[in-house]
Structures are given as structure tokens and as C-alpha cells.
């Protein structure tokens, strides 16, 4: 057996365990979900699934369907959550990378929301937003404002939900930026300082380019987490009022387990997968283009 063939077989043997798990827990469930989305089925009955072709998708995208509002809410929440959480994570990482007194306490304070279970975090903010005794409305009253039913108002519910996601996510993203900052080559930063580069120019022309790979990864994590919103929606708003805060994954949960319409839930899941694939491809293309431009 030639050395080249041995190397190929070794590579296949090393990849085989991961490939088995990938097929079993990713490829097969995705394929099964796509197939099931073409069947009409109701979990409340014992009737066998009936082939419906694109019927579930027609119902999903019908003009009178609530799905359009759910999809709009989801994209809007992502547009709020991702840039704000990424920017805050980067700024916090810059702050926590400094040698200042009390930095350990500050790091723990910013990271603490990350380790809280989502249900606990949602319960905390459910009390914070309470109309009668919540700290948010107490502060509004102190500055001369009028108490607001934030979670019960269509204009504010989605903003409140997005805020909680940002509060929970920022500390987690900060860890990656902090690791990236601490892994930067010190000789490059020292050379910049010797050349007289200020803090702004150093960050713009050295720090941010060196953290490009970290930023792409952080954005991917932020988008994925923004799509995975179920627990705190269930606790805080139940998707209301009037679907104002309903997001895609929570709507899939409700469609399947509350309304027992499994076929429609599968179709919504396929839409979610398509959105994630589109984002992944776009993110990869942008990353490759920026790498090419940098060269």
C-alpha cells in the first residue's frame, strides 16, 4: 500500500466518527423535516399524515397568514440584536483588557447574565418591566414620566424582548473578543505606539483588521442565538400582544405543540433552515471578499 493511499485512509478514519454524527444528528433530521413539510398532519388526531405537496407552504405564505408578521418581527429583532450586542461586546472587551483595579469584579458582572438560565433571566425582567412595581417604571416615574405597560404594548414588546436578548448575549460574545485581544501579537501594538499611532488609529487600522475572523464568528453566533428565542418569549409575552413580539422559533413551537399543526410547523422549520443557510453563505462570501481585499 502506497504512502499516499495510507494517508487518505487515515484521514477518512479520523473523519469517520464526526461524519457519522453529522449524518445522524444533522443531515438525516434536516432531510426528514423537509419530507414531512410536504405532508398535512395534526397531532390532535390519530389520522395518518396525508401528502399535501406545497399545501403547507401555500397556507404559510397566504396573505392572511400571521407568518408574515412573525417573519418581519424575527428579521427586525435580528437587525437590533446583532449589531448592538456585537458592538457592546467589543467595547466591553476593550475595557476589560485593561489593567485597572476591580477588573475581575467587572468581568464577572458583565459575564454573569450569560450563565443565568434563560427562564430565570426572563423572570427577572418580567418583574423589572412590571407596570406597578417594576424598576423600569419606577425610574420612569422618578424622571417625571408615566408608567408604561411595556410588555403589553405592541409598540414596545418587541423592543423589550430584544433588549433581554442583548443583555443575555453580550457577555458571551465579549469572551471571544477578549480572547482575541489577549492573543494579539504584542510586537505589532508596540510598533504602532512607537510610530506615534493614537488609540483610535490603532483600533481602526490594527485591532479591528486583526479581529476580522473573530468578528465573523461572533456575528454568526449572535445571529444563531437571535433565531433561538423560545424560553424568554414564553415567560415574558407569549408572543403577544397581537403577535407583536412573536418570533419564528417560538411560532414553530406554538404551531406544533399548541395548535397541533405539525405539517405547518415543519414548513416553518424549513423556512428557518433556508434563512440560516442564506445567512451562512452571505457571511462566508463577505468574509472571503474582505480577506481578498486585504491581500
Residue 197 CA: distances (Å) to CA of 99, 178, 188, 189: 20, 22, 11, 9
The confidence score (pLDDT) of residue 1 equals: 62
The confidence score (pLDDT) of residue 216 equals: 87
- Is the separation of the CB atoms in 116 and 168 below 8 Å? yes
Peptide bond into 241 cis (omega under 30): yes
Name residues whose C-beta falls within 8 Å of residue 122's C-beta, 6 or more positions apart in sequence. Answer: 164, 231, 232, 233, 234, 235, 236
Question: Which three three-digit cell numbers place residue 115?
Answer: 450563565
The confidence score (pLDDT) of residue 106 equals: 83
Question: Which three three-digit cell numbers place residue 11?
Answer: 484521514
Tell which CATH classification among 2.60.40.290, 1.10.3720.10, 1.10.10.10, 3.40.50.970 matches the domain 66-294.
1.10.3720.10
The confidence score (pLDDT) of residue 224 equals: 87
Quote the DSSP letter at residue 51.
E
The confidence score (pLDDT) of residue 91 equals: 92
The sign of the torsion formed by the CA atoms of 104, 110, 115, 117 equals: positive
- Is the separation of the CB atoms in 168 and 236 below 8 Å? no
Question: Which three three-digit cell numbers place residue 151?
Answer: 410588555
- Which residue ranges make up each domain of the chain? 66-294
Q: Give me the half-sphere count of Cα atoms (radius 13 Å) on the Cβ side of residue 206.
A: 19
The confidence score (pLDDT) of residue 294 equals: 52
In which residue ranges of the chain is pLDDT below 70?
1, 287-295
Looking only at the bridges linking them, the beta strands covering 50-51 and 39-40 are antiparallel
What span, in angstroms and rounded, lies between the C-alpha atoms of 165 and 229?
8
Amino acid at each position: 500500500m502506497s504512502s499516499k493511499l495510507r494517508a487518505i485512509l487515515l484521514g477518512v478514519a479520523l473523519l469517520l466518527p464526526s461524519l457519522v454524527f453529522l449524518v445522524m444528528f444533522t443531515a438525516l433530521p434536516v432531510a426528514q423535516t423537509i419530507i414531512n413539510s410536504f405532508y398535512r398532519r395534526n397531532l390532535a388526531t390519530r389520522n395518518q399524515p396525508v401528502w399535501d405537496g406545497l399545501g403547507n407552504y401555500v397556507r404559510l405564505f397566504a396573505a392572511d397568514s400571521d407568518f408574515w408578521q412573525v417573519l418581519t418581527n424575527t428579521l427586525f429583532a435580528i437587525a437590533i440584536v446583532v449589531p448592538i450586542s456585537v458592538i457592546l461586546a467589543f467595547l466591553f472587551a476593550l475595557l476589560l483588557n485593561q489593567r485597572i483595579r476591580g477588573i475581575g469584579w467587572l468581568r464577572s458582572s458583565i459575564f454573569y447574565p450569560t450563565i443565568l438560565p434563560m427562564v430565570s433571566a426572563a423572570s427577572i425582567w418580567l418583574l423589572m418591566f412590571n407596570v406597578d412595581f417594576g424598576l423600569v417604571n419606577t425610574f420612569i416615574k422618578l424622571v417625571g414620566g408615566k408608567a408604561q405597560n411595556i410588555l403589553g404594548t405592541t409598540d414596545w414588546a418587541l423592543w423589550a424582548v430584544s433588549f433581554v436578548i442583548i443583555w443575555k448575549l453580550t457577555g458571551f460574545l465579549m469572551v471571544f473578543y477578549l480572547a482575541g485581544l489577549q492573543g494579539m501579537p504584542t510586537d505589532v501594538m508596540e510598533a504602532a505606539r512607537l510610530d506615534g499611532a493614537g488609540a483610535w488609529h490603532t483600533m481602526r487600522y490594527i485591532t479591528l483588521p486583526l479581529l476580522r475572523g473573530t468578528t465573523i464568528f461572533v456575528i454568526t453566533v449572535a445571529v444563531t442565538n437571535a433565531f433561538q428565542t423560545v424560553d424568554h418569549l414564553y415567560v415574558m409575552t407569549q408572543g403577544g400582544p397581537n403577535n407583536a413580539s412573536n418570533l419564528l422559533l417560538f411560532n414553530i413551537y406554538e404551531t406544533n405543540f399548541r395548535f397541533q399543526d405539525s405539517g405547518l410547523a415543519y414548513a416553518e422549520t424549513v423556512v428557518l433552515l433556508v434563512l440560516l443557510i442564506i445567512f451562512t453563505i452571505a457571511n462566508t462570501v463577505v468574509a472571503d471578499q474582505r480577506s481578498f481585499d486585504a491581500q
